[in-house]
Amino acid sequence: MRGSDTPRIVRNPCTLRCVIPLTGAALALWPRPAGRPVLFRRSAVVELVVFAALAFAALVVIGVLISVFSVVGWFLWLPFKIIGWALKLVGLLFALPFILIACVIGGFAVLMGTGFLLVPLFPLLLLAGVVWLFFRPRRPNSTQARFVS
């Protein structure tokens, strides 16, 4: 029980071709010829080469447009960047005395920290000085008589 709108396969035994009617258009399926094998169809390859060339051209055009808009945008934002640099310079001029004061205070803090680090070494230095006084080589006093042989 087939309806009138269902596709049906018609076989033609003379040409070994199958035709499938699809919504009014026929799709022909040919079997591979028995002679030499066909590596590619020329029209399909040409279509692919043309499509690849058009796609590459489209990518080049899009890249050029992006670069042009990038440069134009950079030139549009340049005055605002210059104003920002000027404001940063003014802020640096206002902050520079405070930065210098902070550096001086930090330097004194580092010196004080070094002093507190060296405080425990003072007793050791005093002990080393006493030992040096006791064990240093003594020079003969000029008032003493020398033994000459």
Mean pLDDT for the chain?
Answer: 80
- All residues at 6 or more sequence positions from 18 whose CB lies less than 8 Å from its CB, including other chains: 9, 10, 11, 12, 28, 29
Per the domain annotation, does 56 fall within a domain? Answer: yes
Per the domain annotation, does 104 fall within a domain? Answer: yes
DSSP H stretches of helix in 6-135 = 42-118, 121-135
**Contact assessment for residue 29 and residue 12, using Cβ atoms and an 8 Å cutoff:** no
Per the domain annotation, does 8 fall within a domain? Answer: no
Per the domain annotation, does 5 fall within a domain? Answer: no
* Count of structural domains within the chain: 1
Per the domain annotation, does 4 fall within a domain? Answer: no
- DSSP at 31: P
Threshold 0.75, pTM exceeds: no
pLDDT (mean) for 71-80: 95
Per the domain annotation, does 9 fall within a domain? Answer: no
Residue whose structure tokens are 């279509």: 47
Per the domain annotation, does 119 fall within a domain? Answer: yes
> What is the per-residue pLDDT for 139?
72
> How many residues make up the chain in this entry?
149
Domain of 91, in residue numbers: 41-131
* Tens-digit pLDDT profile for residues 77-106: 999 999 999 999 999 999 999 999 999 999
pLDDT grade for 24, boundaries at 50, 70 and 90: very low
Residue whose structure tokens are 């005395």: 97
Give bridge partners of residue 18 from the DSSP assignment.
11, 29
Per the domain annotation, does 76 fall within a domain? Answer: yes
> Number of H helices and number of E strands within the chain?
2, 3
